[in-house]
Each structure stands twice: as C-alpha cells, then as structure tokens.
Structure 1
Amino acid sequence: MISIDPAALSERDSYKLLIGSVVPRPIALVTTLSKDGVLNAAPFSYFSIVTASPPMLSVSVQRKQGAMKDTARNAIDAGAFVVHITDESIVGKVNETAAGLPPDESEAAKAGFTPVAGEAIAVPGLQEAKIRMECVLEQAIPLGRARDGDEPACDLLIGRVVRFHLAEDVYDNGGHIDPLRLNPVSRMAGSTYAKLGELFAIERPQ
C-alpha cells in the first residue's frame, strides 16, 4: 500500500485523490434565487443524505480562493434552495450550468431549462428533472480553510426537504423510486461520468 500524508500534498493533489476515491457520486443540480430575482443553477457532486426524520440533504459548495459562490450566498440570503437529481435525460444541460457566469445571468436559462414555481418555497425548480426536492436552509456551516488565506474552503448547506416532486413513471405505489426508470448519472474523476450499472442485492445479517 502507498501511504500519503495529506499535509504534504497541495490542495489540488488532495482533491484528485478524493474525487478519484469517493466514487460514484450522485450529482445534485441546485437552483437558488438571488436578491435580484436571478435563477441560479449549478451542479454539485459533494452531495448526500443527512437524515430521514426530518428529511435532510447536504450540499458542500466549495469556495474559490475563499470567495463564496452564488449558490451558497443565494441559499443563505433566501433561506431556501431546490435539489434536482441528475439523470441521463438532462445531464448535458446540467453540465452547461457549470459555466462560470456572472451573478446577473441565469445558468438555468442558458442551459434551456424550464423554471417551475415552488410550492412550499419561493425558489423555482426545473421542470425537466424527474426528481426535485424543495428545501429550506437549516444550517450553512463554513468549513476548512483556503490554502492561500484564512477564509473557509467551503460552505456546507444543510437543507430540510419540505416538498418532494417525482415524475409518475419513477414512483411506484409502494413509495419506492425505480432506479431503472430514473436512470441517474454519477460523477467520477475529471470529466468522467457513469450511468447506472448492474444491480445486485445482498441481504443484511440479522
């Protein structure tokens, strides 16, 4: 085995080890609304479930040289955001939202997404996604430290889901999501993505 002390690595080298090791990662397409009413959209693979009671999600928004990104700033200002699950039918458009646009331009509009009004929050979602979850911001936690200063390295957003929106063909009467109909896409390292592969089951021990 190769043993590596992260303290001896650059931020970039630590990043490469993490994104190459923690795979596959689901991709959250997050929409937020600026104070000026601009609908921001951006993809994040530093994303997971926090708890089911109440339902909560986490999205880690990495800062750029210590500067907070639009998604984190908007979510904190509005106290809400929407998480969409990236699937094969929208992954091309999701990738377009990663473009570095200024705050007064909408990535959602540039990518050709259709805004749809929220039911429980003021932030719009995107109609094309098969699953979207309206969230109120529970906590925004600055974490880490930028290598070139004292500013945090990221803003960890904890959102409480207040409304699930599910396409009828991915949801069954038993309350389950059909992964084969959802066709989720995950992030690997670099510019590589992965589709849903072979499914298998292992029963948990009693």
Structure 2
Amino acid sequence: MLVIDPAALTARENYQLLTASVIPRPIALVTTLSQEGVLNAAPFSYFSIVASDPPLLSVSVQRKQGVRKDTARNAVERKAFVVHIVDETNVHAANEAAASLPPNESEMPRAGFTPVASAAIEVPGIQEAKIRMECVLEQAIGLGGAGEQEPACDLLIGRVVRFHFAEEVYLNGIVAADRLQPVSRLGGSDYAVLGKRFALERP
C-alpha cells in the first residue's frame, strides 16, 4: 500500500484524493433564500443522512478563502433550506446552478428551474425535482481551520419537516430507485448513474 500524509499535500491534492476515493456520492441540490429575497440554488456532493428519528440530513458547504458561501449564509440567517435529489432529468441544470454568481443574482433562471412554494418553511423548492425535503436548520457547525483561521467549511444539519415525492417514484412507502434515476458524483468532472445492483440480507 502507498502511504500518504495529507499534511504534506496541498488542499487541492487532498480534495482530488478524497473526491475520487469516497464514491459514489449522492448530490443534494439545495435552495436557500437570502434576507433580500433572492432564491439561491446550488449542488453539493458532501451530503448524507445523519439520523432518521428525527430525520436529519447533513450538507457540508466549503468556504471560499474563509468566507461563507451564499447557501450557508442564507441557511444560517433564515434557519431553513430545501434539499432536492439530483437525477438524470435535472443533472445538467443542477450543474448550471453551480456557477459562481453574485449574491443578488439567482441561479434559478440560469438553470431553467421553476420555484415552487414549500408547505412548512418560507424557502421555495424546485418544481423539476422528483424528491425534495424541506428542512429547518438544527445546527451550523464551522469545521476545519487552525488557531485563529476561519473554518474551512460549514456543516449544515437540517431536520426534515416535509417530504415531497413525485407520484411515479413513491410506491407503497418505498422510493423506486429505477424510477428516480439518481445521479452520483465521482472524482474530477465525472458522474455516474445506477448500474448493477444486488441485495444482501443483514446477519
């Protein structure tokens, strides 16, 4: 085995190793609302489930030179955000939403997304997503950095207060993966779709 000390690598080199090793990663397309009423949309693959009782999700938003990105700032200020699952029908639009735009400009028109009102929070969702989850912010944790340095990222923990499922993917309480057609993130510019699947009974 090749042994590498991450402390001897640049941040970019560590990023490349991590994102090419921890694969596949589901992609959260997150909408937030600024204090000025601008609807922000951005995709994040540093995303996972934290707990199911209560239902908690995590989204890690990397800072840029110590400065919070719009998603993290808006989520902290509004205490709410919406998580959408990226699938084959909207992955290109989600990628467009990754463009760096000024805070006063929404990514929604650029990506061709349609805002839709949420049921329990003030932040709108995206109509084109087959799954969306309205979240209230449980915690925002600044992580990374050393000494007096600003944190390297904001870990957002959201509690799901409403699930929304397109009828074609929700079958008797189960989400049909073949109908959802989720897309995952790999290293570099690569993505992946569902491939060969198999089941294992837990011991």
Q: Any idea what SS the aligned residue of 1:89 has?
A: coil
Identity %: 71
The one-character-per-residue Cα deviations of 1:8-64 (angstroms, maximum 9, x if unpaired) are 111111111100100000000000000010000000000000000000000000001
The superposition leaves residues 153-193 of structure 1 with CA deviations (integer Å, 9 ceiling, x where unpaired) of 000000000000000000011x1100000000000011100
Secondary structure of the residue aligned to 2:174 is: coil
Tell me the secondary structure at the aligned position of residue 102 of structure 1: coil
Gapped runs of 5+ residues in structure 1? none
Moved over 6 A (4+): none
Displacement after TM superposition at 1:109 (Å): 1.9
Equivalent-residue separation in structure 1 for 2:161 and 2:195 (angstroms)? 31
TM alignment of 1:36-185, pairs within 5 A: 36-145=36-145, 150-173=149-172, 175-185=173-183
Whether contact under 8 Å (1:141, 1:155) holds in the other structure is: yes
The one-letter amino acid of 2:121's match is I
Q: Any idea what SS the aligned residue of 1:95 has? A: helix
- Deviation (angstroms), 1:7: 1.1
What's the CA shift for 1:202?
1.0
Q: How much has 1:145 moved relative to structure 2? A: 1.1
CA distance in structure 2 between the partners assigned to 1:69 and 1:146 by the alignment: 20
Alignment: residue pair count: 203
**CA positional deviation for 1:146:** 7.3
Q: Which one of 186, 190, 194 corresponds to residue 188 of structure 2?
A: 190
Q: CA deviation at 1:110?
A: 1.4
The answer for the alignment partner of 1:29 in structure 2 is 29
Q: Residue 168 of structure 1: SS of its match in structure 2? A: coil
> Normalising to structure 2: TM-score of the pair?
0.98
